[in-house]
Amino acid sequence: MMILKKMVMNLSKTNQMGMTLPEDISLPLTSLEEVNFLEDQLEDRKKMQELTVYLGTIGGGDVASTTRRVMSILMTNELATQLNWMGHGEKRGFRGLKLCKVVCDAVKRAKPEPGTQDAAVENAAKLWLRNARDRSGGRRQRLIRALERSEQVAKDL
């Protein structure tokens, strides 16, 4: 009953605020420049709330699948390959972005299960970012290159 009550409350909040993406926000994000621009826009709490509500309408079977769906709507795989959780190396850190808070809040809004914590959402987001290079044919391309190299080594012997 508590879950149903929470879902009804979330639906009524969504209907009051609207479920459309704010006009000046375009998703999916495709570049770090767009991330920086959106981060600046999210200084406005109203915009941050509107984006959270919009992303919170995305469903999923559990916290992990909802997080993956939100992340894939939020950014392209090409952009995700330029990000990691902490910002090590040449990559930008996702953890420190306002977008991270938006994703956590949106997933918790979409999955009103008792006990959904930021840590579960963050772990799913880390995994999604870590595997970005494998999506859109990346894994297949690496396999093809490895096979070509092994064929070349076999010829050289």
For 32-69, the pLDDT digits (tens) are 999 999 999 999 999 999 999 999 998 888 999 999 99
At 69-111, the pLDDT tens digits run 999 999 999 999 999 999 999 999 999 999 999 999 999 988 7
73's enclosing H/E stretch is helix 63-74
- Comparing CA positions, the residue from 135, 144, 134, 104 lying closest to residue 122 is 104
CB 49 within 8 A of CB 40: no
The answer, yes or no, to whether residue 11 has pLDDT greater than 80, is no
Rounded distance between C-alpha atoms, residue 119 and residue 109, angstroms = 15
Q: Which of 48-52, 135-139, 148-152 has the lowest mean pLDDT?
A: 135-139
Higher pLDDT, 107 or 146: 107
Q: Is residue 13 predicted with pLDDT exceeding 50?
A: no
Q: Does pLDDT of 141 surpass 90? A: no
CB 24 within 8 A of CB 73: no
DSSP 8-state secondary structure symbol assigned to residue 113: -
pLDDT at 112: 63
pLDDT at 126 over 50: yes
pLDDT at 124 over 80: yes
**8/97: higher pLDDT:** 97
What's residue 96's pLDDT?
96
Burial 81-101 (b: 16+ CB within 10 A, else e): bbbbbeeeeebeebeebbbbe
pLDDT-wise least confident of 14-28, 87-101, 110-124: 14-28
